[in-house]
Structure 1
């Protein structure tokens, strides 16, 4: 007896002959498959291309209203991304039919009357192929995710942030709507690493990232662009609105104590703000960095809007742990 699966796989059985469909259904259910039976090609096509479609299908070649190979061909043309396994059965081993089925994208061809042992072997092989497909998809998804996200916090990385900001800037130019960048730097973060250890520092960054995500709107753009530096794109926000938001952020996020392991401490941040006005994100980012450096000069734990009349702070001013003027 085959080992029962924890969650039965659903198979669509499309056959216009009630006797054949009934005997196959009994066989498949004995092997712990969940079976849906249809007798019409159009109905089978709609089911395979509808929501929550079955994972596998066995279709008779000579279905009414739409041939089995036509159902498969049209389903493949829709470019479904999951591992839908499609099997075609026919009463005659006609080479033309087999060639047509192969061209339509059939995964397997069954000859009637169906041999019980052969069918079970092919179904189990199909399950293994589907499992390998899903494993590969998961690995590809992980590769795509980590190519655009920071591994520690799960936020967008700098490169992905810039790509989205360039796209948002194009929209700003078309719609003539505001866009503001906010750059956040945790004050004296290196001291946390030194005093409490890098593990604690990483935990603070993760917790801070989660607090930011909960605080921001769903369409705001949030990423990590340095060890303790975060960049936020705020569509629809002016610099003044962003400044008010920064003040609320400092009160709502930063003033709450951080409980990391057995340690409890507070964290402050300096914030630089700059308006896009449809200009290149590289230029606006440099302005946000300069505003951030001025916030450091002002004593940290505050937000500054970029002002072109203000001098460019230098490392010798003691304004920051980082030379922001060199970043762009």
Structure 2
């Protein structure tokens, strides 16, 4: 995942060190040497995240953060305070100013990249939510209620798995306003407790005496029901090996022990916001059903929804100079399926293929049925090379398992795919036209293959 990062520090050497680290991980970097310059570049450059120094001569970082969060043009941009100040009151001041996270100088590389990627991922979901809600408003649906969202966050179901009394005490004090907090010290009961209900956030210690906390993380990520649940781990200071393994398993964030109250509060709030955005994305889909923008057979979005939403996604991608890719999928020899097994048999195949596509793409991707046997997946922040790999996986999944057309008949079905990445100054119609041309080539070249537009 790449992103545009605004680095703000009045010390030239620190700016250049952070720039070099971020560029080595393929981030785009913008530099600002003062608070006022940061405010100007946040508006004009539209960064995905701001790394903000606290001690600056003109405007300190706290005031810059307040102004960023007060301006509707920049309020949605995550802000990470990067500071040598480590007193708890400084972190509380940062939280009150609207900061999303903290890093202490000198910034550890693992922490730096984890914080940046986590908050960029959060902003991507928030941007998608804003676009979808804009589409919903255009269709006459109600906007979200901020007061209701805030109340739901306090009722969030949070599970803490920790056997260290000192950490438990600090977490309980930091999260004392959370009405849904559950602390589990009986580690043997952890798997059953994790699976026993829907959690908004699970906090797992990596220093448990009775078991390996990483195994609990793996348990959640291997479960289809729990795969999207945010997971935050508590790690021993300096244990980068365990942290890197945790991130490989799909953990979202971490806090270093001994637990700092302000830090864990910031991390928890960030993950709960992420979960809330996921839930809102799901709710907007349900509301869209009521407005007849869902294909009744497959449960996917239909052409009407795609036409309205894709135009906004294209406009956003062009404005931010970000990749956006369309994948068109068409069932091979579908007419023969209808001729042999009737439209009822064809409908069964359509529904099962739609289900396989939906389970194997991201929540922020748009999946729609746009014709009889034709589907489209719109992938923001995905380039042509990555989309080709995803499309090839979808084709393998389609062909690998037979389709149960009737109780007595199983049928092997293949699909073909055409892919196009949005080009400069191209509109939604042009993007789909090039993807369709690539799909035509895939059919002409023998079907059951992926062809990318040039």
With structure 1 as the length reference, what TM-score do the two structures score? 0.49
Rg larger for: 1
Structure number with higher relative contact order (C-alpha < 8 Å, ≥ 6 residues apart): 1
With structure 2 as the length reference, what TM-score do the two structures score? 0.36
